[in-house]
Structure 1
């Protein structure tokens, strides 16, 4: 294992069921996709309000927990170009600046314990959230994934693409504005990922687990 990289597990290609699919969608037909689903975030909102916490931090934990539960969401390439799986991935998330209507990227360390994770989140926002520019916090780790939020939009579809390049293996999760419907609060969430990393089945599992992590909150 390369000592300069965070811990990862190389994939045994001889025993990997998705070996041919990975090679096909990585080399022959490089493509990715975006899927949007409506999440019931009522438990998250209730928990955040009852404990005077930021909803964004609670949501970020639910997303990060889900991503870290799935190998397909932690796929990477070794320095030799072979597929592997990160042991842990950390959220790279956006914050909005009201003064000039731009955004910046921050990151925080993932921890399976909610209280610890939330401390990491708030510490990152408090220290770096006022910095402008695309990358507001230095030192972004190699084992990251992306989360962003567009609270102005209650969208029903979302699409992004990598101009002229191969889609990223790491997932991009984009959330919108939550709205009340039939006594519950729903929020659109989009998953964008390379087809080499995940198929429709895995995307379905991602949203199922994310909904479970939103309902069984906190852990």
Structure 2
């Protein structure tokens, strides 16, 4: 983790401009073609959900602008981000949030996710984990598709944790397509960065 010299930071003017907003967040919902990923995970007995988390983190960690975080009047740069994702809590309809280190191969990551989900009985991570800002919040609505989405959150302009949510995939013209929603802090990231993320994830999925 490194502290950034704001006076030398290329984004200082944009950061200052969007810092005047009480709600500097933007959310875009687009679509991903997950045909090849679905085929790959089904053939290898992997979790489609964990695999799409892996794809998202793989691409986001390769885009340095996503690694900046706001801490009061300071900007820090993390070495990488880890996923904090939602799963059903056992046989109930209640949710559980699980944090898992990103890294390794797809198979290793899926195994690590399954293990943590199995051993974590509490619905939420420990308080120290909840205070981390080197996370990406990820959720899924596998029961339905959608065309827009909003996220629960405090209206804290310093909140720089991306929120990524996808919905139920549907067959369209012989392909499997799902809605993919991303919420970002405009103080740190613009539409161009979002395009780099979404296009990068699609390219990663197409390579399976």
Q: Same fold (TM over 0.5)?
A: yes
Question: 1-side partners of 2:93 and 2:199: how far apart?
Answer: 34
Matching residue within 11, 16, 20 for 1:18: 11
CA distance in 1, matches of 2:111, 2:152: 33
**C-alpha displacement of 1:57:** 1.3
* TM-aligned CA distance change 1:24 to 1:161, over 3 Å: farther
Is 2:169–2:178's contact at 8 Å kept on the other side of the alignment?
yes
Q: How large is the RMSD of aligned CA atoms in angstroms?
A: 2.0
Q: Map 1:75-90; keep pairs closer than 5 Å.
A: 75-78=68-71, 81-90=73-82
TM-score when scaled to structure 2?
A: 0.89
Q: Which residue of 2 aligns with 1:42?
A: 35
Q: Which residue in the other structure is 1:116 paired with?
A: 108
Q: CA separation in 2, counterparts of 1:120 and 1:23?
A: 40
How much does 1:137 deviate? Answer: 6.3
Higher mean C-alpha deviation, range 156-165 or range 80-89: 156-165
How far did residue 207 of structure 1 move? 0.7
Residues matched between the structures, number? 205
- 1:127 is displaced (CA, Å) by 1.4
Matched, 1:158 2:146: no
Offset at 1:139?
5.5
SS for the counterpart of 2:129 is: coil
Question: Where does structure 1 lack aligned partners over 5 or more consecutive residues?
Answer: 1-7
Take 2:170 and 2:158, find their aligned partners in 1: how far apart are those partners?
31
Instruction: Give the TM-score, by structure 1 length.
Output: 0.85
Query: After TM superposition, what 4+ stretches of structure 1 lie above 4 angstroms from structure 2?
Result: 136-139
